[in-house]
Amino acid sequence: MKPTAAGGPAMLAVLLLAYIFNYVDRQIVGILAVPIKSDLGLSDTEVGLMGGLAFSLFYSGLGIPIARLADRRDRVTIIAISVALWSLCTALCGAVQTFTQLFLARMGVGIGEAGGVAPSYALIADAFPQEQHARALAIFLLGIPIGSALGIVFGGWIAANIDWRSAFTIVGLAGLLVAPLVRLALRDPRPVDRAGPSTAASLGEALRLLARKPSFWLMSVGNGSGAIAGYGLLFWLPSYFRRSLGLELFDISLFFGAIVLIGGMTGIWAAGWLGDRLGHRNPTAYAIVPAVAVFLAAPLNAAGLFVPSLPVAFVLFLVPNGLGLAWAGPVTAAIQQIVPADMRATASAGFLFFTNLFGLGLGTVLIGFLSDRFSSAFGEESLRYAILCALSFYMLGGVLYAIAARFIAKDWHSEAAA
């Protein structure tokens, strides 16, 4: 890739490192949910609230005002502060004694992470040419499977050999080391005069523009719907492997960590490459690629829930794990290209609002709630059927992506004409 601003590849590498820790800290609770539930005596609903709603409550709400600040101020500083805050709150999770304390600590993680992602999207979009956006963003978004897998494997290993509290403390303190690296190694490629409050578009202007972009709303809500299934699977599959397949904690971390790492990296990179290759000629591809992917992800995951063979289950979960993340490069690239440069962080935050409010806020809680409700009928297998119900949201997301494909070219080109 040839960056349009100095330091593009180096910037991408540092932002990727920060995003890896973002997902280590975000997803480590999935593998630790097994010992946390036992130690604190929680129900599946409470575990879902701790893993999802606690994080998304402020993460979703604060993302837009922080992104507005990022459109007007130095984005690197905002990202560095965010890394430090979410890492500190992750470390504090290791000191909690009650469900309420853990809920509040996870809220702190969400507040910190609210300022890290949307400004990173905007930095990358400014640093690389348009025809490389999906691939550059796909590289950044590899932080999702890498960070998730590291959180699963190392969290499981530490919990199995020490305890779950130490897992939170160790990964949180490690993340604190990344914050000064972000601040000292990066610079915002945006000219100084562009970062001033007099030149950035107002929130009202941004909302009025987005109101005329049906593809934005369809892709945002579609991604939020798919995220209910995606985040729900990411959080609850370790518990499913324990209850229904009888795996031990560290075995789960290796088994599921490999699924997340291999499937996620392959899916994100392949979809980013395909999105740029097809989208360069026809922007419709940026919505069609994820639509097809999530339509395939639902039945493959469902099949994985009902096979007794671990090797077969590995493959059946591996493939849809990649398909479930195929939105990452194409959709985030499209969001960047339907608004002017000075609205990119705001548009990204709006998109992430739906993704995380629905996906993180509802996905883990919904599956936990259904598991508790199904327990009288299915006993220890209740989680299997709760996950199966949540897969229907992949199908809804696919429908909304497909409808967005009808509008994306018009939204894209009308902006270019403007």
**For position 272, which CATH number holds?**
1.20.1250.20
Query: Is pLDDT at 218 greater than 90 in this prediction?
Result: yes
| Separation CA 74–CA 314 (nearest Å) | 44
Question: CA nearest 103: which of 94, 93, 91?
Answer: 93
104: in domain: yes
Angle between helices 133-141 and 117-127 (to 10 degrees): 140
Residue 2 lies in a domain: no
Residue 193 maps to a domain: no
Identify the CA nearest to 17 among candidates 69, 79, 63: 79
**Contacts (Cβ under 8 Å, ≥6 apart) of 239:** 33, 34, 37, 47, 383
For 187, the token pair is: 């610079």
Is pLDDT of 83 > 90?
yes
Q: How many CB atoms lie within 10 A of CB 147?
A: 27
Mean pLDDT, residues 281-309 taken together: 91
**What average pLDDT does this structure show over 159-166?**
89
Report yes or no: 100 and 50 within 8 Å, Cβ to Cβ: no
pLDDT at residue 334, rounded to an integer: 86
How many domains are there within the chain? 1
What is the Cα–Cα distance from 122 to 78, expressed in whole angstroms?
Answer: 12
Asked, for residue 192, whether it belongs to a domain, the answer is no
pLDDT at 313 over 70: yes
Please answer whether residues 153 and 24 qualify as being in contact, where contact means their C-beta atoms are separated by less than 8 angstroms.
Answer: no
pTM of the model: 0.77
Q: Show the tokens assigned to 293.
A: 């992917």
Question: In this predicted structure, what is the pLDDT of residue 195?
Answer: 44
In a domain, 194, yes or no: no
Q: How many angstroms separate the CA atoms of 192 and 312, rounded?
A: 55
Average pLDDT, the chain: 85
222-270 pLDDT, tens digit each: 999 999 999 899 889 988 998 888 888 889 989 999 999 999 889 888 8
CA dihedral 307, 310, 315, 316 (to 10 degrees): 20
Q: Which domain holds residue 335?
A: 8-187+200-417
Residue 101, C-beta contacts closer than 8 angstroms, at least 6 positions apart: none
Q: Please check whether residue 3 lies inside any domain of the structure.
A: no
Tokens encoding 131: 């025809």
- pLDDT over 90 percentage in the chain: 34
Rounded to an integer, what distance in angstroms lies between the CA atom of residue 322 and that of residue 81?
31
Please indicate, yes or no, if residue 1 is contained in any of the structural domains. Answer: no
Q: What is the DSSP letter of 192?
A: G
Average pLDDT over residues 300-321: 92
Residue 19, pLDDT > 50, answer yes
